Chain A
Amino acid sequence: MVWTPDQPLVSLRAVFKSFGAARVLKGVSMEVMKGQVICIIGPSGSGKSTLLRCVNALVPIESGSILVEGQEVNDPKLDKLALRRKVGMVFQQYNLFPHKTALENVMMAPIHVLKRDQREVERQALALIAKVRLQGKEGAHPGELSGGQQQRIAIARSLAMNPDIMLFDEVTAALDPETVKDVLVTIRELAADGMTCMIVTHEMGFAREVANEVYFTDGGLLVEHAPPKEFFASPKDPRTRQFLDQIL
């Protein structure tokens, strides 16, 4: 079956995942269309990070189906590397490579994984660093950058692979309040450019503004989802209401 853009870019069907005895995902289904931005919110430990990690096969699932551009992820013969070339991911703790400069962090994977031309990669990397507003920091090592700056370099590093979809796992949760805004601005611009995004976040204002669809998870289940206006104005499930009451 050939994937066409009118089909979901990512679709999950009844995904189950346990770590030992702990059941973390208990039958999750969702669809993300090309160009869509979805936000996933929910209490800590409800399986949000695990859900994202299943999409790029960092975590293998037990049953169910995950299709990314029509390719089955839950398949022993899956070419993980091919999948991950299409799926970018940004982490809460940035995870930049500390022994490399910002520019080298961004250039490494395109050169060594995609085997692209060094000159061309450098041109793109410089443009991406400018795009995340960090011109002048190309030669800095991660230790010399603030959390927010590191996170923006991490976003540039993922974008340099020209992914079809970006996964964001609480990327502002570890940041000082002053630097959160810069990172959110970067993601918002990315969304406006039409990048497909799956975003786990605790920033409700940001979710309301950027998302096409907001999902609420609790205890390994997707409790409900709706467009942001509707989601925040009239949540249907009592668990969602309770969560929003606590956080807002």
Chain B
Amino acid sequence: MIIGRTDLAVLKPFRIGAAEPWRFNAWHGAALVAALIAAVGIGEAQAAPGTPDIIATMLKWTPLLAQGFALNIAMSFLAMAIGTVTGVPLGLAQVSLLPQVRASSWFVTQFFRNSPWLVLLFYCMLLLPFEVRIGHTIVPLPGWLKSTIGLSLPVMANMSELVRGAVRSIPFGQWEAADSLAMTRAQTLRMIILPQCIKRMTPPWMNLYAILTVATPLTSVVGVSEAMTLTGDILSSEGRSELLVPMYLYLLLWFFLYCYPIARATLALEKRFAVT
């Protein structure tokens, strides 16, 4: 399978603070549209006489595709929420004064940060039960939920690193000033350090979200009916080979249109924070 050799960003462990984070830019968009137009043209040329045209077919399936895409977005929201809510305390544990807490949270962070996302996804699919009992109620864990949990693990680890890096980047004088005012460590973190961290963490956090969104089609490998899976289903029901390339490019365009504004906003924030 190509996955072993690919250079696709989501299959490699994602690192925050690497020189230039990967993100969509306008060139990607232009190239994508050009490729889509070319693919439709080539497809039409190859098509057997009498078949409906490619654009019409794409539009016919658009509502179904939108349903699948909505699941991708829902999974990205939920995984981001879980990853953020668990990653912040994990990151704070990494700056704890207790060596054991520091060491174990460091290990957890490194483990999930350096595992390929797809591996974590498979682990969650295979190891999580299909339902859990909470008190007397049985909560089912459908595939999409399990893979969302799988996606949230690397988000958690990257969030943890983000928090650690941001706390470390606050000048030592801030701690000294708070200490000399008799503030406790918890007060200093809550009122002095973390509020200053939020500003620094927002752009990389948004970047992390964009990468997570692009990673959600990975869940098609474990059978979740998101947009990528549905595209495959559509293609097999149509049974027309000339549709293959245009359909996947069309899907990619959806992701681009969703992520590009986020990338622009991230850049704008980075610029603004760099000046002040």
Residues of A bordering B, CB below 8 Å: 56, 58, 80-82, 84-85, 87-89, 91, 93, 95-99, 108-109, 112-113, 143, 154, 157-158, 161
Contact = CB atoms under 8 A, between A and B. Distances in A.
Contacts of B199: 99
Nearest to B199: A99
B63 interface: no
Contacts of A161: 181-182
B176 interface: yes
Which of A56, A85, A98 has the largest count of B CB atoms less than 10 A from its CB? A98
B233 interface: no
Given A99-B195, A108-B191, A113 B174 contact: no
Nearest to A154: B177
Contact of B276 (A87, A113, A143): A143
B257 to A, nearest CB: 35
A13 to B, nearest CB: 23
B119 interface: no
A81 B182 contact: yes
Contacts of B176: 58, 91, 95
B173 interface: yes
A201 to B, nearest CB: 18
A187 B73 CA distance: 59
Contact of B179 (A58, A82, A88, A112): A58
B192 A97 contact: yes
A112 B191 CA distance: 10
A95 B174 contact: yes
Contact of A58 (B180, B184, B192, B195): B180
A143 B199 CA distance: 15
Given A91-B173, A97-B192, A143-B276, A109 B179 contact: no
Contacts of A96: 177
Contacts of A143: 276
Contacts of B183: 109, 112-113
**Most chain A CB inside 10 Å of its own CB: which residue of B177, B180, B184, B192:** B180
Nearest to A83: B182
A91 B187 contact: no
Contacts of B195: 99
Given A80-B182, A84-B181, A97-B174, 11 more contacts: A56-B180, A84-B179, A84-B180, A91-B173, A95-B173, A95-B176, A97-B177, A99-B196, A143-B276, A154-B177, A158-B181
B173 to A, nearest CB: 4
Contacts of A109: 181-183
Contacts of B179: 58, 84
Contacts of A56: 180
Contacts of A85: 182
Contacts of B276: 143
A222 to B, nearest CB: 23
A82 B184 CA distance: 11
Contacts of A93: 171, 173
Contacts of B192: 97
A84 to B, nearest CB: 4
A51 to B, nearest CB: 15
A84 B183 CA distance: 9
Given A99-B196, A108-B191, A81 B184 contact: yes
A65 B181 CA distance: 23
A113 B182 contact: yes
B272 to A, nearest CB: 14
20 contacts: A58-B179, A58-B180, A81-B182, A84-B179, A91-B173, A91-B176, A93-B173, A95-B171, A96-B177, A99-B195, A99-B199, A108-B191, A109-B182, A112-B191, A113-B182, A143-B276, A154-B177, A157-B181, A158-B180, A161-B182
Contact of B180 (A82, A88, A98, A108): A88
A84 B182 contact: yes
Contacts of B187: 112-113
Nearest to A88: B180
A119 B210 CA distance: 45
Contacts of B184: 81
A98 B173 CA distance: 12
Interface string B220-254: 00000000000000000000000000000000000
A84 B191 CA distance: 18
A97 B178 CA distance: 9
In the complex, the 6 A-B pairs of residues with the closest C-beta atoms, listed nearest first:
A95-B177, A84-B182, A95-B173, A109-B181, A89-B180, A81-B182
